[in-house]
Structure 1
């Protein structure tokens, strides 16, 4: 294996922390076994932040990409949905290559201990029974409800030292206070309760020292995921066309509450922009609502960049235009915002236009994204884009732009592109890609090789040629043995294709070219290629 560079120290710390947080103790142990049995092959560091390697799994070869900067973009071609032992094995292999065997052992020990601590942090906490606020009926104004929430639960965030478990009973209590309400108003009350609890979580994370914040963010965000998902599910149930006076009053109050959070310029843990947009998308169905809200946003923007989050306003205005299919206008707004801050907006928009099969508008979004990722290409910025390209190429195979986008983004698009060409039976393109990337047949997924051998066996001939030549170029006995192994498979392919004369000419030329390599000649004799 060959490591060209080391990860930055802070990146390595983040990667190890992510593995400790997201990979269980049992999986870490299995990853260590994979590493100790030398199952990690072809380890490379790309662009200083992404580790690529192939791992010998249970009879199959898997391709792993570890994104040290943002672990959630890490990938493995194995069937598991969660971070797996192959990822852990790659990290151990990197640690040994970069720092030595002892440091790999230390990393294993740290992850084992970290896994135990993480498990302890996620044990279920006792929950308090729900509370009912006296004198806070359904008819009360929402600002009265919010004031009561603050009085009763406004300091609960101080109990969130390492997790958000202290806020779970708060949310249950707030929801329970509206258990007997009519469903339409109850729905909005519950959304406000979620927003209030998320606001408490923001206060908790801001009390953490900067050194510990990264680790707390991962823990807090994971704990809050079901709360946020419930908020979005409730938003989807909103029915603007049938809302009465009380519901409109509550939804307006809720919208302003999350909007105020989104307008802030401080760093936040949660995506308040999307909590706001979830309301706007539904309420835009009501005549005149979108125009009024758009005007309010424009007025707020006039206050100046020092006082408001202009990125949020431009994103919100873009989505207002998207809702009514004014996509060119939407993209003009987004063009004024840093792409890193809007990725989670642009990809769903492009995906929606793809689902609608609106190829003109979808093409506008894809061109917009491509222009912004091609200069700073890396695995985490292109993953969603390549996924869209694959889907578009299936639905519109006559348009070559989808393939061009994917090939232009190599090597970061390699795994997705390789899988795509196999899925659409473009075996020649698939083989050319393996040759370009220098991937040997023995490093590929065993089932993929079987499928290609069955459908188009001749496609594999150049791949075995390259593998044999690469192993000979290693100039050592083990390399020569592996080269002979590839030559055996190559011979069978040539004969199966009834090209025995071509095979013999190639073999004679190879023996002649490397006649001075005594060890290779010996291995060729053992393989019965030389009498």
Structure 2
């Protein structure tokens, strides 16, 4: 090893072993073991506490890079498309250097190939200290039984997440492994439930972090959990709600209920649980019976919240959920009515999703209603950060429906915050006159604009550049210093070329004569005009 190890390397090895178990075929693991045993691994290093690199000899030397926190980004320079034997060999070499932290490479190999059982995760050891662990439920057990078992076996996993979520990866891998022989449809739902359970453990872990360090831990935790969430959303898209059998629907309802109960909390949370819940609802709503039942449940919850007024319940989320259920059913007016009862800062992500879908469908009447709702809220709190998504929709709408002046009206009314987007949009649409008028309105100088844009406009429609140069020249002269006068002369030369290209040299002579007379008392400026051969 070329770099001293840290005390976190034991967790690094556990996490890496879990990644290999989950993503690498057993035959690849076995080939990597042979490469390690034959001494083909030439070098192993640790970087930034989560990046493992190595060099492995094969038909040539191959460089391996393993991102333990985000295994999907691991790479090898060999031709194999996927997680290869060279990565496996590097893992075993890493184990060999750290036997005190993770055991021998032989023991790791036996665990990965099933020759000996995997040691219980640390969280499970804590549970066993309280009492004898319950046996693992089978495929026929109910979601409630599984939930109770996971809480008993792994409910304390969050306690070892002091600085990172590394210790949760083995928990996730172990729980996924309990359903490796299940029917794929049911296994998919079980894995979704497992992912939410592990995310819930992360939520409990962040609460134990002191307020001074919370910000930095949040960034680390969220980054670590990104592949877990991505896998969850992938599994959601693979569901077939219309074809679900009764036991599959029970599992789906359990996952929905898990996400809903988390989203219902008003406390600050690490993950976007409302979105986690609604992403699943969007897919499940392909079954209209399910959608109607869930909507009825949401409406009942809203009524109960009105009566009880529980301050711990996120009533804004409830109305967001109702709005989305109406949207899934094509009832946009009802959806907008309930979005009106939400905190826009929290619900705007879903509102944009609705508007974008109607735009994609070319359903202009409801799309205009969504945009009217968005504009009212965006204009009230307009800033460079908040207008971006709205302007993106406006640009697409103006491209698809150029005769509707509402879209450009929205964009211009949000100036100066919309300047950049509007500039790019009008230039892309080749609306050079509007583009030039916008630059004048903002007070942009030609030298401040992308040179390739100025060249294109000057070539295609040079006349629209004239007012821009006139404004820039006056601005530089008004600086009342020698450098400003030189810049004014530079702009005058460019303007002269445009007048010449347009065959309007008579107008140019009138203009330059007027400039000379207007500023005849500025001796330094007159000298620069003479040096630049603008006047003789």
- TM-score surpassing 0.5? yes
- Among 473, 480, 483, the alignment partner of 1:468 is 473
Aligned twin of 2:381: 376
Residue 134 of structure 1 and its aligned partner are, at CA, apart by 5.3
Q: How do 1:57-206 residues align onto structure 2 when only pairs under 5 Å count?
A: 119=48, 124=68, 135-206=136-207
- Among 428, 431, 440, the alignment partner of 1:423 is 428
5+ long unaligned stretches in structure 2: 1-46, 52-66, 70-90, 92-101, 103-107, 113-117, 121-133
Q: Is the 8 A contact 1:317 1:330 kept in 2?
A: yes
Pair 433,266 (structure 1): closer, same or farther in 2 beyond 3 Å: same
Q: How do 1:73-472 residues align onto structure 2 when only pairs under 5 Å count?
A: 119=48, 124=68, 135-301=136-302, 302-303=304-305, 304-306=308-310, 307-472=312-477
Aligned twin of 1:36: none
Q: d(CA) in 1 for partners of 2:396 and 2:403?
A: 13
- Normalising by structure 1, report the TM-score: 0.74
Q: d(CA) in 2 for partners of 1:181 and 1:264?
A: 33
Query: Once the two structures are superposed, what CA deviation does each residue of 1:403-435 show, in whole Å capped at 9, x if it has no partner?
Result: 000000111111111111011111100000111
Which structure: larger Rg?
2
Q: Is the 8 A contact 1:263 1:308 kept in 2?
A: yes
Q: 3-state DSSP class of the match of 1:341?
A: helix
Residue 298 of structure 1 and its aligned partner are, at CA, apart by 2.3
Q: Is the 8 A contact 1:389 1:406 kept in 2?
A: yes
Q: Is the 8 A contact 1:494 1:500 kept in 2?
A: yes
Q: Is the 8 A contact 1:393 1:403 kept in 2?
A: yes
Q: 3-state DSSP class of the match of 1:388?
A: helix
Q: d(CA) in 2 for partners of 1:492 and 1:386?
A: 36
Residue 274 of structure 1 and its aligned partner are, at CA, apart by 1.4
Aligned twin of 2:56: none
Aligned residues: 414
Query: Once the two structures are superposed, what CA deviation does each residue of 1:434-459 show, in whole Å capped at 9, x if it has no partner?
Result: 11111111111122122212221111
Please say which of residues 498-507 and 304-313 is displaced more in the overlay: 304-313
Pair 482,226 (structure 1): closer, same or farther in 2 beyond 3 Å: same
Q: d(CA) in 1 for partners of 2:329 and 2:504?
A: 62
Query: Once the two structures are superposed, what CA deviation does each residue of 1:331-360 show, in whole Å capped at 9, x if it has no partner?
Result: 000001111111110001000000110000
Aligned twin of 1:17: none
Aligned twin of 1:98: none
Query: Per chain length, whose mean CA-contact separation is higher, i.e. which structure has more relative contact order (CA < 8 Å, sep 6+)?
Result: 1
Q: Is the 8 A contact 2:493 2:534 kept in 1?
A: no
- Among 495, 504, 522, the alignment partner of 2:527 is 522
Q: d(CA) in 1 for partners of 2:411 and 2:361?
A: 22
Aligned twin of 1:5: none
Pair 163,513 (structure 1): closer, same or farther in 2 beyond 3 Å: farther
Pair 415,215 (structure 1): closer, same or farther in 2 beyond 3 Å: same
Residue 305 of structure 1 and its aligned partner are, at CA, apart by 3.2
Q: d(CA) in 1 for partners of 2:455 and 2:150?
A: 62
Q: 3-state DSSP class of the match of 1:211?
A: coil
Q: d(CA) in 1 for partners of 2:151 and 2:220?
A: 24
Pair 287,427 (structure 1): closer, same or farther in 2 beyond 3 Å: closer
Pair 322,266 (structure 1): closer, same or farther in 2 beyond 3 Å: same
C-alpha root-mean-square deviation of aligned residues, in Å?
A: 2.1
Query: Once the two structures are superposed, what CA deviation does each residue of 1:170-226 show, in whole Å capped at 9, x if it has no partner?
Result: 222222222222110111111111111111111122222223322322232222222
Please say which of residues 244-253 and 220-229 is displaced more in the overlay: 220-229
Q: 3-state DSSP class of the match of 2:345?
A: helix
Q: d(CA) in 2 for partners of 1:328 and 1:509?
A: 61
Q: 3-state DSSP class of the match of 2:386?
A: helix
Q: d(CA) in 2 for partners of 1:285 and 1:499?
A: 66
Q: How do 1:5-24 residues align onto structure 2 when only pairs under 5 Å count?
A: none
- Asked if residue 480 in structure 1 is aligned to residue 485 in structure 2, the reply is yes
Q: 3-state DSSP class of the match of 1:137?
A: coil
Query: Once the two structures are superposed, what CA deviation does each residue of 1:141-186 show, in whole Å capped at 9, x if it has no partner?
Result: 2222223322333223233333323322322222222222211011
5+ long unaligned stretches in structure 1: 1-117
- Normalising by structure 2, report the TM-score: 0.74
Aligned twin of 2:4: none
Q: d(CA) in 1 for partners of 2:268 and 2:254?
A: 23
Q: d(CA) in 1 for partners of 2:166 and 2:480?
A: 59
Residue 121 of structure 1 and its aligned partner are, at CA, apart by 6.8
Q: d(CA) in 2 for partners of 1:135 and 1:224?
A: 25
Q: Is the 8 A contact 1:389 1:402 kept in 2?
A: yes
Aligned twin of 2:83: none
Q: Is the 8 A contact 1:121 1:163 kept in 2?
A: no
Q: Is the 8 A contact 1:441 1:464 kept in 2?
A: yes
